[in-house]
Structure 1
């Protein structure tokens, strides 16, 4: 429990605003919106719920169901229960209180005022419903709300979206799907727009990403990445700081041997979820919306044989939380889908050669990415397409009759080119 909460208000900025911008630009270059994974050359990595749970050191992340919104007012009327403050104090502090599903929020200053000191603020006793009684419990609750709103689900500096409250206080339910959901949604939004700073826990995604680089885990533990050991192993800018173009080029030049499909800090045997019985992926209900992704793209990350992934239509589970009968119907379907989660991993026997981790039909599938799936950056500025291996290029379909497909592909390429130009200008 911090003695002063002043640092929390600028936590993302204290890690370096340029770091977050550079990290987001770098990951956006490699992010693939249709498949929700990162493709760097021939390496495909998918942030998974299991890996996120290990990084956060959560013991029972997947024996529970995710937090799924319920009908009724969201969380702005629950502050009295969790903070013990009177309505007279809370009501003026809630921005957009009528927006029960559209980002009602409070400032971190409110929590700092009442809960940052180690002792009960006797001068403010009138502002509490029952005075000092239960203040220590309320202080812990306040820290949970602040941590979730500033670190895990940030919206703007110093503001805490009250949508995090049901996530934080839903006993017996996992927060990992919500974290991963908002990561995917934010990256997808920024990629569509061609710019912007993703609003999610960038540091957690960066930690996950670095854990798949061999030179990181050779010299350090998974939960402690010291900067000086990183600088000793890479003779350019540190990860996601400084020049992100240099890091993009560096990552593209890394041979496959420098990547670790399976991180060494995980359990000996992973039991990941690969899909659901009624859905080819896994739906992820978040704080402000829902989306889905394909963990079957990550079989190698769990020491399994990589087969062509199960790919369906994510549109069925991709929507914003805007109260309506359609939203509640979709959420009910998501809950039913989630209950049918399955695991389909064929583990590799010890002593098997490394190339046995990839099935032959996966190699064929990987060489024939559909036009919707564009590997970025497949070509660096100034590089001829003819110099890029076929495995790093999208197979252009000459017989595609649908005009929509052609337009979507052209739009994707134009957005990526725009992002590259903006990146070059920023550097």
Structure 2
């Protein structure tokens, strides 16, 4: 879905700066603040993101799986690119506490690599590192290669994507300002389906070839709406303006608890955050209520030093 883009389109997308641009941060923040103030919890769910990206159902034994013998960043990147140790070592840069690879080097490799499969793998890794899990501008972080290396083993990226999304939104709301750092394009695809009514053609969702993302991208957007007007629309949202269940979302099983807790820990590549789906049951035409969330706040932490060792 997200990374399955025709090779002919890749040059166009890269040159137009799609990978480096994050738009509508103010819009996302206003939506977040408005729904919280009105005590209406409308947030992306695991099931919605799975439907958007056409991922298979989560396998319980693989949702949080980690490799026993983890390869080094150097080895993993050599496997992904097919390049020599000397070549890859020359590219690795230090950004703060983490190692990363500059996008400029990856772009040059995509254009020049003789192996088509490796060329596609490097492009896909770049999408994950620059769009889905951005951290240092214009660089792919080493933690992204760890997740990317495990995708072939059917480890789902959905939980990690949502964890990154919630962590960034929480931080913006906590300080009252800031920039959303996450997969803004995917969040906005979800966003438009809940706040703008669309003509529903329900039978399409039963087709094997149906892709919600392709349909969303094809919907004409009004570029003449000023940011101030959009903010005013969001601040004055009424319940009747909200599409509680996206038209492409089919009723199915939902992930809503972990063991005896009414919430689920979402592990992201740089930390973890709690996810209380019972807060958003209205997505599924159910009564909305405030569940017991004792211990939920303590579920949020970053992977660093002694904090990780104590968890």
Alignment partners' CA distance in 2, 1:216 and 1:83: 42
Aligned pair in 2 of structure 1 residues 186, 228: CA closer, same or farther (>3 Å)? closer
Which residue matches 2:207?
none
- Alignment RMSD (CA, Å): 3.1
SS at match of 1:297: helix
Given candidates 56, 59, 75, the residue that maps to 1:59 is 56
Given candidates 294, 298, 303, the residue that maps to 2:276 is 294
Find out whether 1:303 has 2:285 as its counterpart. yes
For 1:26-105, what aligned pairs fall within 5 Å after superposition?
A: 26-30=30-34, 38-39=35-36, 41=38, 43-61=40-58, 64-66=62-64, 68=66, 75-96=73-94, 102-105=97-100
Q: How far is the alpha carbon of 1:95 from its aligned partner?
A: 0.9
Aligned pair in 2 of structure 1 residues 319, 210: CA closer, same or farther (>3 Å)? same
Given candidates 3, 14, 21, the residue that maps to 1:8 is 14
Given candidates 109, 124, 130, the residue that maps to 1:114 is 109
Q: How far is the alpha carbon of 1:169 from its aligned partner?
A: 2.2
Which residue matches 1:407?
none
SS at match of 1:215: coil
Given candidates 150, 160, 168, the residue that maps to 2:140 is 160
Aligned pair in 2 of structure 1 residues 88, 6: CA closer, same or farther (>3 Å)? farther
Alignment partners' CA distance in 1, 2:169 and 2:126: 23
- Number of equivalenced pairs: 292
Alignment partners' CA distance in 1, 2:274 and 2:26: 26
Which residue matches 1:196?
178
Gaps of 5+ in 1: 31-37, 121-134, 331-427
1 or 2, which has the higher helix percentage? Answer: 2
Alignment partners' CA distance in 2, 1:24 and 1:258: 17
Q: How far is the alpha carbon of 1:83 from its aligned partner?
A: 1.1
For 1:391-406, what aligned pairs fall within 5 Å after superposition?
A: none
1:159-211: CA deviation from partner (whole Å, max 9, x where unpaired): 11121112122112110011001111112223333332221001111111221
1:52-91: CA deviation from partner (whole Å, max 9, x where unpaired): 1111121334554135586866534411122111111111
CA contact (8 A) 1:183 1:201 kept: yes
Q: How far is the alpha carbon of 1:28 from its aligned partner?
A: 4.7
Q: How far is the alpha carbon of 1:39 from its aligned partner?
A: 3.1
Alignment partners' CA distance in 2, 1:12 and 1:27: 24
Q: TM-score, normalised by structure 2?
A: 0.80
1:129-177: CA deviation from partner (whole Å, max 9, x where unpaired): xxxxxx3332232122111011101124421112111212211211001
CA contact (8 A) 2:134 2:140 kept: yes
Aligned pair in 2 of structure 1 residues 103, 73: CA closer, same or farther (>3 Å)? farther
Gaps of 5+ in 2: 1-5, 205-211
1:212-237: CA deviation from partner (whole Å, max 9, x where unpaired): 12523559994333687554xxxx95
Aligned pair in 2 of structure 1 residues 300, 205: CA closer, same or farther (>3 Å)? same
Aligned pair in 2 of structure 1 residues 42, 196: CA closer, same or farther (>3 Å)? closer
SS at match of 2:140: strand
Find out whether 1:246 has 2:229 as its counterpart. yes
Given candidates 218, 222, 225, the residue that maps to 2:216 is 225
SS at match of 2:274: strand
CA contact (8 A) 1:26 1:248 kept: yes
Which residue matches 1:21?
25
Aligned pair in 2 of structure 1 residues 195, 254: CA closer, same or farther (>3 Å)? closer
Aligned pair in 2 of structure 1 residues 283, 68: CA closer, same or farther (>3 Å)? farther
Q: How far is the alpha carbon of 1:294 from its aligned partner?
A: 0.8
SS at match of 1:216: coil
